[in-house]
Structures are given as C-alpha cells and as structure tokens.
Amino acid sequence: MTTLLPDPIGHDALRLRLIQQVGRGTLPSSLLLHGPAGVGKQQLALWLARAIVCGGASGPCDTCHQCRMALAWQHPDIHWVFPRPRLKDSDPDPADVRADLAEAIADRAKALGLYSPPAGNEGIYVATVRAIVQGVASAPSMAARRIVVVGDAERMVPQEGADQAANAFLKVLEEPPPGTTFVLTSSEPGALLPTIRSRVVAMRVGPLADRAVRQFLERPGVRPALAAAGLPADDDQLVAYAGGAPGALLAGAARAAAVADARQLLDAAAGPRSARFKAAFQQGASGARGSFSDVLDALTDVLADRVRTSTERDPARAAAAARAVLEVEGAKAAARQNAQPSLLMARLLPVLAEAGR
C-alpha cells in the first residue's frame, strides 16, 4: 500500500516536537506551519494528521486500522483542502466542493504527491470555506480527533460579500469544535488575514539541508517530473536551484531561474556601482512583467532565509535583510499596478545593497 504523500524528509526536530505535543495533549487546536515554498509543509501537515489519528508515540505506525485507512486516503477524519479553480456553478454546495477536492487529491496521489504550486486562478473560495465549516459541525467518525489540513492558506478568499461564511470560519479557528484540529500551511503568512493569523499558533518550517534535498531527488517519480519541467539532470545543479526547498523544483525551470536571478541580483547589488546599474537595466529590459514578479517572489524567499540564518550570528545583517523584505513586498504591490520594473529596481537596489553585504 502506498501513501498519498511520502513521509516528510528532514524536519526531525520539528516532527519530534509535534509528536511530543500530541502525546502530552498540548498540540494547539489551530496551528500554522509556515516557511519557504517547497520545504514540505503540506507533507508535514498530512504526516501529523496521520500521527494524530494513529496515536503512536513516535509518529504514525502505518500498520493499525487508523493508519491503513489514512494511507489509502479513506480516513473520514482527515480532510485536505487546498486552492482549486472556481467551480462553474456560481453557488456550489459543499458536496460539489468535496467531490472536486476528492478528484484533485486523486490526481496528486496518481502523481506520487509531486505537484506544482497553485496557478493564479486557483484559490480557497467561499464555497470551500462553507464546506469546511459544515464538515466540522459533527463529531469525528472514527478517530478521537478530526484534522483539517488547509494548504496554501494565504489563497483563502473569504470576501465576495460572504461575510457570514468568513466569520464562521474564523469562529471555528478560534474555538474549534471538540475533537477538531486545524493545520494551516502557508509560504506567505504575511498575506493571511490578520484575523486568521491572530487565531493560530505559528511554527516555522525551515529549508532542508543539502543531503535531504538529495534524498528527495531519489524518490520515485521525482527525476521524470523534473525532466518534464525542463530542469537539468545534474544533482549539484538541482540542489543549488532548490535552495533547501526541493518541492519548489516542481515549479519547473522558470522558478529555478527566478531563484538564481534573485541571488545574482542580491550579489550585484552589494557589488560595484556598475554592477548595480547593469542589474537594474537587465531587469527593466527583461521583457515580461511576470518574469520580474517571479524574481521578486524569489527575492522574498532568499532574503527571508538570510534573516533566519543571520539572526543569531549577525543581527545587523538580519535586520538589513528584514528591511529589504518589506521593500520587496512594496515593489510586488507596485508591480501589480504595472509600475516599470526598471524604476522599481532603481529604488530597490540601495536596500538590497545593504542586505547583500
């Protein structure tokens, strides 16, 4: 029997912490796993869901009845929600939403859990929010607890005049029904509604070590998926492209190129003045605004990782990187309003220069 998603690679300390909390009964009822895209947050959340229904002292045992049901993706108390295209029906009922998610989960299982990040038209729309709220209204069916995993939670769209649905979701996050655990995951926790952030306990899922990335490359189906995405076969290049987030490789060569461009841009900003001007000109002349936005997204990840790794040993460098993250987020907003990439880069470069030193 194969799992929907393999067990997470790495994150040993965090997994131990989570299991200890499950064993002591101190796991928060509403949890947010946040970190760079592709580090395995949803894998970790689903592994935690299996551990909770199993109740094993060291994680899911994979042999008990609860585990066998979970491994076959037939456990009625594990729910996985993630961004999907808006359904054609303007007001789909919860059964339609659940059927759509079941089909999408089957596709992810068929692909051995190797899936790309959500497309721009995919979100967690109000109909899905209603389905979540309805699904937790009753007691768990088999296990002691029901677990709702909400992947890419920053894509939650509670607007559209459906305040009642949004308020209902916030209420169940703040006071989950007895026997219910919510695990949200996000690569952009700052994009979550402040009311949602205030109702969850956040835990960071950091980048993986290179050896863990190499383990990922050896998993079934990974190399064909990366080849289909146009990535090179060289392991050293793939490890470098991943930057501790192997799942990000599934976004394909475009994402890998954006990360490489972001790192090159940061190095150029810290270099001679001529290199800065060249970097600004190249971004302005690169053509598609979408590519520029991809570089800004990658810059956020690269800078956030620099904050994490520099906080203890070089607080000043970490603070400079944190300031740069805020500036990059502002540039993203301006880019969405069709601001010229070259002008945005001219404003960003002094901040990036300080962060890159």
* Final residue in a domain of this structure, among 204, 237, 260: 204
- β-pairing, 84-85 with 78-81? unpaired
What is the DSSP code string of 47-63? HHHHHHHH--BTB--SS
272 shares a domain with 195: no
59 shares a domain with 120: yes
Q: Give pLDDT, residue 23.
A: 92
In a domain, 218, yes or no: no
Average predicted confidence (pLDDT) for the chain: 84
Decide: 147 and 183 in contact? Cβ < 8 Å: yes
Residue 254: pLDDT over 70 = no
Residue span of the structural domain in which 319 resides? 252-356
* Final residue in a domain of this structure, among 166, 184, 204: 204
In a domain, 73, yes or no: yes
Q: Give pLDDT, residue 151.
A: 95
Q: What is the SS3 assignment for 37?
A: coil
* Distances, alpha carbon 17 to alpha carbons 62, 105, 357, in Å: 20, 28, 35
- β-pairing, 201-204 with 30-34? parallel
Q: 154-180 b/e with 16+ CB inside 10 Å = b?
A: bbbebeeebeebbebbbebbeebeebb
Q: What is the pLDDT of residues 1-10, one digit of tens each?
A: 445 567 889 9
260 shares a domain with 122: no
Residue 260 phi, psi dihedral angles, 5° rounding: -60, -40
Decide: 142 and 74 in contact? Cβ < 8 Å: no
Least confident of 114-118, 159-163, 320-324: 159-163
Q: What CATH number is given to the structural domain containing 25?
A: 3.40.50.300
Least confident of 111-120, 158-167, 226-235, 319-328: 158-167
In a domain, 270, yes or no: yes
Decide: 298 and 258 in contact? Cβ < 8 Å: yes
175 shares a domain with 44: yes
273 shares a domain with 191: no
pLDDT category of residue 291 using cuts at 50, 70 and 90: low
> How confident is the model over 91-97, as a mean pLDDT?
89
In a domain, 23, yes or no: yes
158 shares a domain with 60: yes
66 shares a domain with 191: yes
Q: Give pLDDT, residue 298.
A: 81
257 shares a domain with 194: no
285 shares a domain with 175: no
In a domain, 6, yes or no: no
In a domain, 85, yes or no: yes
In a domain, 336, yes or no: yes
Q: Give pLDDT, residue 28.
A: 94
pTM score over 0.75:
no
200 shares a domain with 257: no
Q: What is the pLDDT of residues 177-209, one digit of tens each?
A: 889 999 999 988 887 878 888 999 999 999 999
How many Å is the Cα radius of gyration of the chain?
Answer: 21
> CA-to-CA distance for 303 and 166, rounded, in angstroms?
32
Q: How many domains does the chain have?
A: 2
Q: Give pLDDT, residue 185.
A: 96
In a domain, 221, yes or no: no
Q: Give pLDDT, residue 245.
A: 92
172 shares a domain with 77: yes
- The helix (H) or strand (E) run that includes residue 327 is helix 315-336
Residue 120: pLDDT over 70 = no
